[in-house]
Amino acid sequence: MESQAHPSDRAGLEYASWRTASADALDRRVAWLEEHGHGGTWVPQDLGGGREYEFTDPDGHVFRLYFDTEAYVAPEGKRPVIPVNFQAYAGRGANVRHVDHLNLLARDVRANRRFWEEGFGLRTYEIIELPDGAEAGAWMSATIQGHELIYTQERTSGSARLHHFAYLVDTREEVLRAAEIFADARIHIEAGPSRHTAIQGFYLYTREPGGNRIEVANGGYLVFAPDREPYVWTAEEWATKPGWGAPIPPEFHIYGTPDVAE
């Protein structure tokens, strides 16, 4: 995964792209989208000069699918000593390794979860179910990594909003190191460092200058069993907050980008 920043007059997620396993897989997913009323359009690809298909999830977030790509070649001075690595170890700032997961807000978490399960084969590892049957959160993945795509409940009048995206560091200690760096740089720490209950990743949250919430993350469990069913938390069980972890500030569950006046 990678991220790109584009100038804009408001914060938020412009789009998220998935790379398909093959060109044929791309055509199959586009066929599924069009057969199920989620058809979008082919757009010029940002990188690679190939074709890319743009569509929206049920909440209105923009996604793209592509297969063609252009492999990154590290420039002189950043070449790694071990050729399989993408570039030399940077060792600066929070020293994040790659984008780890994306958390979106949705008015109907279940509808979005089903969209990705049925159309793309994503697996759901944890769900929070409310007393009225609605879902407050769903943690999904295309791999054994516990969370690649997360939907949590939209609690404002907004739609198609970003909650946060997370960058991975290799160890919990490096999350603490990032906190030291943020603090001395007077960068606001919204939550953490602590550990989440769902998927159990170690976290630190801030916001980049444009307003998007960013997480520096480590860990979270892996799921090797091919037939593991999602764990469904009841609201009561979730409220007991089993295990350990600091309380999350209330605004964490409200704020997203674009920011909306309530």
Contact residues for Fe ion, defined by CB under 5 A: 166, 215
Toward Fe ion, which CB reaches closer, 65 or 162?
Answer: 162
| Closest separation in Å from C-beta 18 to Fe ion | 18
Q: Residue 184: in which H helix or E strand, if any?
A: helix 172-184
| Closest separation in Å from C-beta 230 to Fe ion | 17
Q: Residue 178: in which H helix or E strand, if any?
A: helix 172-184
Toward Fe ion, which CB reaches closer, 45 or 152?
Answer: 152
Is-contact 218 171, C-beta < 8 A? yes
Toward Fe ion, which CB reaches closer, 52 or 135?
Answer: 135
Residue 179's contacts (CB-CB under 8 Å, 6 or more residues apart) are 189, 192, 193, 204
What is the identity of the amino acid at 157?
Answer: S
What is the identity of the amino acid at 86?
Answer: F
Toward Fe ion, which CB reaches closer, 177 or 196?
Answer: 196
Whole-angstrom CA distances from 127 to 30, 110, 142, 202 are 27, 9, 16, 19
Burial label, 126 (beta-carbon count in 10 A; 0-12, 13-18, 19+): buried
| Closest separation in Å from C-beta 103 to Fe ion | 5
Toward Fe ion, which CB reaches closer, 138 or 166?
Answer: 166
Q: Which residue is nearest to Fe ion (CB)?
A: 166
| Closest separation in Å from C-beta 109 to Fe ion | 15
| Closest separation in Å from C-beta 201 to Fe ion | 6
Residue 173's contacts (CB-CB under 8 Å, 6 or more residues apart) are none
